[in-house]
Amino acid sequence: MCDSGECPRGPGAADRSPCTGSRLAGKGRVIDRGEPPFILGWDIGGVVDEAPQTWRFRPGDEVFGMPLFPRVASAYAEVVSAPALHLARRPASLSHVEASALPVVGLTAWQGLVDLGGVTEGDRVLLHGGGGGVGHVAIQIAKALGAHVIATASGSKRKFVEGFGGDGRIVVGVDDPGVRGDRLGHLVQVG
């Protein structure tokens, strides 16, 4: 049942992010999950089953989101009830699996670059950890904003990072003397 604009989500996907892995291992910030048993998970993607108290979605709409964060949203459950305002329509270009992997890392990258960093067109951005979950999304967001992007990555992730369109060279390792933070406008540590 949907109350207060909540929409149950039917079959789709849920993401197991490093954030969730940390919680499973008992590390990271403690979030009140209540008494066991409880279901972990934040990122979701799926199909709306019911939406009686919201104009945003109808049954059958394909959605993704990060409901209730930082509280546990029970994304690993078979059915999830989520506030409609915590969901967005799934772009047709993304599968449920791809869309469900995006919310936590996408929001983290957006907040670092836009909300906190104020990155705009023409800015120069150095992203440490460009091969990670947040890093590879941050490269794409910074490029979409019109920034000049240099990203660091380990040698094994070089080709992966280069595929996202960093400008100039992609630095392998963080100790390259050719990269000086005083010549860049924004330094973002995401790894």
What is the mean pLDDT of the segment spanning 100-121?
91
DSSP string, 39-69: -----EEEEES--TT-SS--TT-EEEE-TTT
Domain ranges of the chain: 6-100, 103-189
In tens, the pLDDT along 63-89 reads 988 888 877 788 888 888 888 988 999
pLDDT at 62 over 90: yes
Residue 129: band (very low, low, confident or very high) from pLDDT cuts 50, 70, 90: confident
Residue 4: band (very low, low, confident or very high) from pLDDT cuts 50, 70, 90: very low
What is the mean pLDDT of the segment spanning 162-171?
71
CATH of 103-189, one of 3.30.70.20, 3.30.70.60, 3.40.50.720, 3.20.20.80: 3.40.50.720
Provide the token pair at 148: 């000049």
Provide the token pair at 137: 């999304």
pLDDT at 141 over 90: yes
Give residues with Cβ within 8 angstroms of 144, minimum separation 6: none
At position 105, the amino acid (one-letter code) is V
CA 65 to chain centre: 10
Pairing of β 6-14 and β 87-89 = unpaired
> Does the domain made of 6-100 have the CATH classification 3.90.180.10?
yes
